[in-house]
Amino acid sequence: MVAKKTEIAKRASDVLRLLKREYPVAICELTHESAFQLLAATILSAQCTDVRVNMVTPALFDAYPTPAKLAVADLSHVEQLVRSTGFYQTKAKNLIGMASQVMSRFGGEVPREIEDLTSLPGVGRKTANVLRSVVFGLPGLPVDTHVGRLSRRIGLTKLEDPVKVEYELNAMLPPAEWGEFSLRLILHGRRVCDARKPRCEECLLEALCPSSELPTKKRVAKPTRKVVVKKPAGKVAAKKRVAKTTKARKK
Ligand code: SF4
């Protein structure tokens, strides 16, 4: 059991090293200029792509550039602005609620502590960790669908619950790497390890990934069936003729 844990921890640090080499610049793909903007954008990104969120936020931030303005916004106007991100009624309500609590409880400043962040409407652990790692430079490993899927495929965890996955990964990686490890896994999930069709043939993690869909090196090196190398028919016939002639001469 201990050996197994050590093996997984070693794999985690190999994955970290390889991903750092492949994606030297790990960036958050949600457009933002402040903690408040990233918080709003991350709330909108639930069940929605970053590309779609980035299409919506310029108008939202033009209309409501600060928590003070968003806190007193008209709900139907915010709904209209965020409609295309899906679940727009809940998201609009959460955005106004978040801004209102940032004003009333935190003096207009987005808090840094995970307990404070997760006490805001629409803010779960994933969003809180995005804020902590991307804006505040604090340890935080957001586990979204990409991070969960890749961690399971690579064999770093067997768990499904994102919070439990976060704790497992945290235990294997240095805190300073948590945020960027998550961002790099997300990039790799989007570019190579697709949910439906992973491109294992071009994956830099292929050699250490137990879910690779390519034949294993072991299988290639040691085929289970005996390989019969057929010689060209002409050569075989010629060889048989030579053997027959030699035999006849000996007689
Ligand atoms: S080898 Fe395949 S399954 Fe494993 S991480 Fe790479 S793309 Fe995903």
**CA angle (140 as vertex; 136, 141 as ends), nearest 5:** 140
Q: What is the pLDDT of residue 213?
A: 86
Confidence of residue 54 (pLDDT cuts 50, 70, 90): very high
Q: What is the pLDDT of residue 215?
A: 82
Ligand 1 binding pocket includes 198 (Cβ within 6 Å): yes
The mean predicted confidence, pLDDT, of the chain is 88
Total number of domains in the chain: 1
Q: Which atom of ligand 1 is nearest to the CA of 202?
A: 7
Distance (Å, rounded) from C-alpha 61 to C-alpha 36?
10
In a domain, 105, yes or no: yes
Ligand 1 pocket test target in 192, 197, 214 with most atoms within 8 Å of CB: 192
Q: Report the greatest alpha carbon distance in the chain.
A: 111
Closest CA to 52 of 67, 30, 23: 30
* Burial class, 48, CB count within 10 angstroms (exposed 0-12 / middle 13-18 / buried 19+): middle
How many angstroms separate the alpha carbon of residue 162 from the centre of ligand 1? Answer: 20
Q: Which residues form the catalytic set?
A: 126, 144
Q: What is the pLDDT of residue 154?
A: 97
In a domain, 233, yes or no: no
Ligand 1 binding pocket includes 91 (Cβ within 6 Å): no
Confidence of residue 4 (pLDDT cuts 50, 70, 90): confident
Ligand 1 pocket test target in 209, 213, 216, 217 with most atoms within 8 Å of CB: 209
Ligand 1 binding pocket includes 189 (Cβ within 6 Å): no
In a domain, 28, yes or no: no
In a domain, 61, yes or no: yes
Ligand 1 binding pocket includes 180 (Cβ within 6 Å): no
Q: What is the pLDDT of residue 5?
A: 81
How many angstroms separate the alpha carbon of residue 28 from the centre of ligand 1? Answer: 22
| Residue range of the domain that includes 118 | 35-135
In a domain, 53, yes or no: yes
Task: Determine contact, residues 236/230, Cβ cutoff 8 Å.
Answer: no
Ligand 1 binding pocket includes 191 (Cβ within 6 Å): no
In a domain, 177, yes or no: no
The pTM of this model reads 0.81
Distance (Å, rounded) from C-alpha 15 to C-alpha 85?
33
In a domain, 82, yes or no: yes
Is pLDDT at 159 greater than 60 in this prediction?
Answer: yes
Ligand 1 binding pocket includes 192 (Cβ within 6 Å): yes
Task: Determine contact, residues 175/230, Cβ cutoff 8 Å.
Answer: no
Is pLDDT at 228 greater than 70 in this prediction?
Answer: no
Q: Which amino acid is at 228?
A: V
Is pLDDT at 147 greater than 70 in this prediction?
Answer: yes
Q: Is the dihedral of CA 99, 94, 56, 117 positive or negative?
A: positive
How many angstroms separate the alpha carbon of residue 205 from the centre of ligand 1? Answer: 6
CATH number (domain holding residue 90): 1.10.340.30
Rounded to a whole number of angstroms, the CA Rg of the chain reads 28
Q: Is the dihedral of CA 235, 241, 247, 249 positive or negative?
A: negative
How many angstroms separate the alpha carbon of residue 150 from the centre of ligand 1? Answer: 8
Mean pLDDT for 31-39 is 97
Distance (Å, rounded) from C-alpha 215 to C-alpha 235?
33
Q: What is the pLDDT of residue 229?
A: 35
In a domain, 128, yes or no: yes
Q: What is the pLDDT of residue 216?
A: 65
